[in-house]
Amino acid sequence: MDHFLYRDGALYAEDVPVAEIAAAVGTPFYLYSTATLLRHFTLFDDALDGMEHLVCYAMKAASNQAILATLAGAGAGMDVVSGGEYRRAKAAGVPGDRIVFSGVGKTKEEIHLALTGGIRQFNVESEPEMEMISRVASGLGMTAPITVRVNPDVDAKTHAKIATGKSENKFGIPIARAREVYAQAAALPGLDVIGIDVHIGSQLTDLGPFELAYQKVAELTETLRADGHDIRRLDLGGGLGIPYTRSNEALPLPSDYGALIRRTVGDLGCEVEIEPGRLIAGNAGIMVSKVIYLKEGEGRDFMILDGAMNDLIRPAMYEAYHDIIPVREPDAGAEQAPYDIVGPVCESGDTFAKQRMMPPVAAGDLIAFRGAGAYGAVMSSEYNSRPLIPEVLVKGDQFAVIRPRPTFDEMINRDTIPEWVEGYSAAT
């Protein structure tokens, strides 16, 4: 459930007409709902009620500070994967002891940054990284709390580009080698080995792979404890999928996922962390765009939008499906027609949907991409010299621009032309 609904013939974001925001900020833009963000966070938080836990929002999904501050204010921690995300989380007011640091390639500088700024734990992904964290921590006279990310070799049954838990993926340490690696970690002076981390992939629409992975983590917890490690925290990653189409609305709910966690690892007496990103932000955001032209092609019609693959790359990159709906509610029973819905970028990959049945739409009309809150704005680029599109946050009947659209000059003036480029003279 989200808070983007038709009311009196017009799409609303909570209590604000989407068209009113479009008139104020121009198109295209991203639009998020505070109520939906909070609702999704609370579903997870409630699902783990009664267990010692922290929901660490995977901020890679949508990292605007207004979103982070909204979630942190409700009690969320953050899962970060870069020094930039760490700094952003801190800037949004998230305390270090609520930030976990994931990712396969943490640099020495990033480790230093997190240790000095405060960190809940590092999720370590390799032996060399483990040694680096120990070295940096020792140099600072500290011990770094770590978990080791294990790769359980489970098929997450999701898109190949977002599956991470198979042995062929670059992530984690093969679970078969875990005992050896934990023994090495325990011997390093700068580390406090506190737990186990696992994350098997994203947009999982079936709980089966989670169950397999978490069972393996439960077994490993017992084994490592028997080896003398004080395993007291389990980071179970993110990955729960969301409905992108109305036909797959019967997906597992956070409450089902919580019950599964309880069933598989609930008796171990460990504190539990989860790292959901998509389920919190995905359906809490839409991308609003305008129809520029309707173009008649040979055997197919094109709907050309002002939004493009640089603004929302998921369809081009993962063949992802997003519902595309008009902002003005179509009449009941309005006849639908198929369109290829495309952006203005100069490549055929700039196609959001092929032969999508759409109600009548005209040039100048606004349309909305649903489910665009996660991995939308954060993956956008300035390809074709198209400035990053703004982000707007709604709360009840208020809205605010939370990242303005840069001017063309701001974008262009980041480049510098060295004086030794021949034949150049500045425009006057």
Known catalytic residues are 346
> Which of residues 143 and 169 has its CB atom nearest to ligand LLP in the complex?
169
- Comparison of 59 and 304: residue with beta carbon closer to ligand LLP: 59
Measuring CA to CA, which residue among 96, 271, 112 is closest to residue 195?
A: 271
Residues 6+ apart with CB under 8 A from 324: 341, 352, 353, 356, 358, 367, 368, 369, 370
Least distance in Å: CB of 316 to ligand LLP? 11
Q: CB of residue 143 vs ligand LLP: minimum separation in angstroms?
A: 23
Q: Please tell me the distance from the alpha carbon of residue 195 to that of residue 231, in angstroms, as a whole number.
A: 5
Smallest separation, CB 313 to ligand LLP (Å): 8
Q: What is the CA radius of gyration of the chain?
A: 23
- For residues 181 and 374, which CB has a smaller minimum distance to ligand LLP in the complex? 374
Those residues with Cβ within 8 angstroms of residue 347's Cβ, 6 or more apart along the chain or in another chain: 309
Instruction: Please give the Cα distance from 233 to 220 (Å, whole number).
Output: 13
Q: How far is CA 339 from the centre of its chain?
A: 29
Residue 7 pairs with which residues in a beta bridge? Answer: 10
| Residue 195 or 238 with smaller CB distance to ligand LLP | 238
To ligand LLP, the closest distance from the beta carbon of 235 in angstroms equals 9
Among residues 190 and 276, whose Cβ is nearest to ligand LLP?
276
Residue 165 in tokens: 């838990």
Distance CA 14, CA 32 (A): 10
Strands 191-197 and 233-235: parallel
CB of 159 to ligand LLP, least distance (A): 7
Interface residues with ligand LLP (CB under 6 A) are 58, 61, 79, 102, 162, 199, 202-203, 237-239, 275-279, 314, 318, 374-375
Smallest distance from ligand LLP to CB 275, Å: 4
- Please identify, using beta-carbon distances, which residue of 212 and 279 lies nearer to ligand LLP: 279
Of residues 39 and 290, the one with the C-beta less far from ligand LLP: 39
Strands 285-296 and 53-58: unpaired
Pairing state between β 77-80 and 121-124: unpaired
Structure tokens at 372: 């665009």
Tokens 């040694």 -> residue: 131
Tokens of 343: 């952006």
Sign of the Cα pseudo-torsion (47, 49, 52, 55, in order): positive
- Minimum distance between the CB of residue 162 and ligand LLP, rounded to whole angstroms? 5
Q: How far apart are CA 124 and CA 407, in angstroms?
A: 40
